[in-house]
């Protein structure tokens, strides 16, 4: 059996994560570039019973990185936002991989080129229903990974051979990231599969909402809903004993978003109340056919309704 060595690294999140205390100090299995590893979150600081300035203390590094510094300064892992509850802003985590000694350089470069962080960001957007208009950035950022090969006395930084960029177009909402959601995001990112089309469109809708482009937010959400309805209708048609003759999806009366809802009503698909469906159809038609420019409240409501419907109609987030 080939000898293995441990590779340690800093995973610098694309944005600070607002985490519930149950996420802190936890370890999660991950996979980057076909290599299985572990992601370890920092922990709450050691607080006394009557801490005078509890929020001034930073989060504690994972044990393996407790002495790490950048120059003369300790690495900042994050900081608590509430006391004594422990809700915290987390900036980075520790990752580790056990890799065959003879394959270190090749393995590390594959880890660097992994799309794990991009997928983490995408699934975070989907599951946390982001898109707050006052929290927005746009552009590409450099690699969020820094990998090291420790020896007996120091850490040797392993430089990536190629530039790696992650596209980030919005920052997270103020929702506290819960343990079960964080675990699910790590698993989805580690599976290496991009989100399904309807959820990619939903992400675009969130990002348009964050940019205050409310018209585009509704258009992208409407497209996401039409894709989701169509997929669910096809599934039910394949499983249904009812025969429609010609493929109903090709019939003129069922081609629009409203038509998709009418067809779905003929199949064993649970749909929301008529008032909610009417709101969705009218808002979408108003934007497309009347060239209206909706406001924040209407756009947020439309996108929120769409997200709920997608989770019901086509709950599988990632591509098969």
* DSSP assignments along 196-259, one per residue: PHHHHHHHHHHHHHHTT-HHHHHHHHHHHHHHHHHHHHHHHHHH-S---SS-GGGSGGGSSHHH
pLDDT at 241: 67
Same domain for 156 and 276: no
Same domain for 169 and 39: yes
319 within domain boundaries: no
Same domain for 122 and 186: yes
pLDDT at 173: 53
Q: Point out the domain boundary residue: 191, 215, 238.
A: 191
Q: Exposed, middle or buried: residue 81 (CB in 10 Å: 0-12, 13-18, 19+)? A: middle
pLDDT at 1: 56
Instruction: Give the pLDDT confidence of 127-167 residue by residue, as tens digits.
Output: 886 544 434 444 444 457 888 877 645 566 676 766 655 55
Same domain for 122 and 262: no
Percent of residues, the chain, with pLDDT higher than 90: 53
Q: Point out the domain boundary residue: 191, 224, 251.
A: 191
Number of domains in the chain: 2
106 within domain boundaries: yes
Whether the CB-CB separation of 25 and 44 falls below 8 Å is answered with: yes
pLDDT at 302: 95
Q: What would you report as the CA-atom Rg of the chain, rounded to the nearest whole angstrom?
A: 23
Same domain for 215 and 136: no
Q: Point out the domain boundary residue: 163, 191, 219.
A: 191
199 within domain boundaries: no
Q: Write out the residue range of the structural domain in which residue 240 sits.
A: 204-313
Same domain for 70 and 177: yes
**Strands (DSSP E) found in 107-174:** 140-141, 145-150, 155-158, 166-167
Whether the CB-CB separation of 88 and 59 falls below 8 Å is answered with: yes
Q: How confident is the model at residue 305 (pLDDT cuts 50, 70, 90)?
A: very high
pLDDT at 131: 44
Q: Higher-confidence residue: 100 or 190?
A: 190
Same domain for 281 and 142: no
258 within domain boundaries: yes
pTM: 0.86
Same domain for 222 and 180: no
Most confident of 140-149, 179-188, 254-263: 179-188
Same domain for 215 and 173: no
Measured between alpha carbons, how far is residue 228 from residues 197, 312, 316 in Å? 9, 10, 11
E strand or H helix at 301, and its extent? helix 296-313
Same domain for 122 and 85: yes
């Amino acid at each position: 059996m080939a000898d293995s060595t441990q590779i340690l690294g800093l995973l610098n999140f694309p944005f600070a994560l607002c985490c519930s205390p149950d996420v802190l100090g936890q370890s999660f299995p991950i996979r980057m570039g076909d290599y299985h590893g572990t992601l370890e979150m920092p922990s709450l600081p050691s607080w006394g019973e009557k801490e005078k300035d509890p929020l001034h203390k930073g989060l504690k590094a994972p044990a393996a990185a407790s002495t790490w510094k950048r120059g003369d300064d300790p690495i900042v892992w994050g900081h608590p936002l509430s006391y004594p509850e422990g809700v915290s802003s987390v900036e980075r985590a520790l990752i580790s991989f056990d890799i065959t000694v003879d394959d270190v350089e090749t393995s590390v470069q594959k880890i660097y080129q992994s799309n794990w962080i991009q997928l983490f960001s995408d699934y975070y957007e989907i599951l946390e229903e982001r898109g707050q208009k006052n929290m927005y950035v746009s552009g590409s950022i450099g690699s969020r990974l820094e990998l090291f090969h420790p020896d007996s006395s120091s850490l040797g930084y392993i430089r990536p051979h190629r530039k790696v960029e992650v596209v980030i177009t919005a920052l997270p909402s103020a929702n506290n990231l819960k343990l079960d959601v964080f675990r699910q995001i790590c698993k989805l990112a580690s599976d290496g599969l991009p989100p399904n089309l309807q959820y990619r469109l939903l992400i675009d809708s969130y990002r348009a909402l964050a940019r205050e482009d409310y018209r585009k937010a509704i258009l992208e959400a409407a497209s996401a809903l039409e894709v989701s309805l169509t997929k669910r209708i096809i599934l039910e048609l394949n499983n249904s004993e009812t025969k429609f003759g010609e493929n109903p999806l090709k019939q003129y009366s069922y081609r629009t978003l409203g038509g998709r809802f009418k067809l779905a009503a003929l199949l064993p698909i649970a749909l929301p109340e008529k008032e909610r469906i009417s709101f969705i159809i009218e808002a979408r038609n108003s934007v497309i056919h009347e060239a209206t420019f909706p406001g924040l409240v209407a756009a947020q409501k439309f996108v929120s309704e769409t997200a709920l419907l997608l989770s019901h109609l086509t709950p599988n987030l990632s591509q098969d």
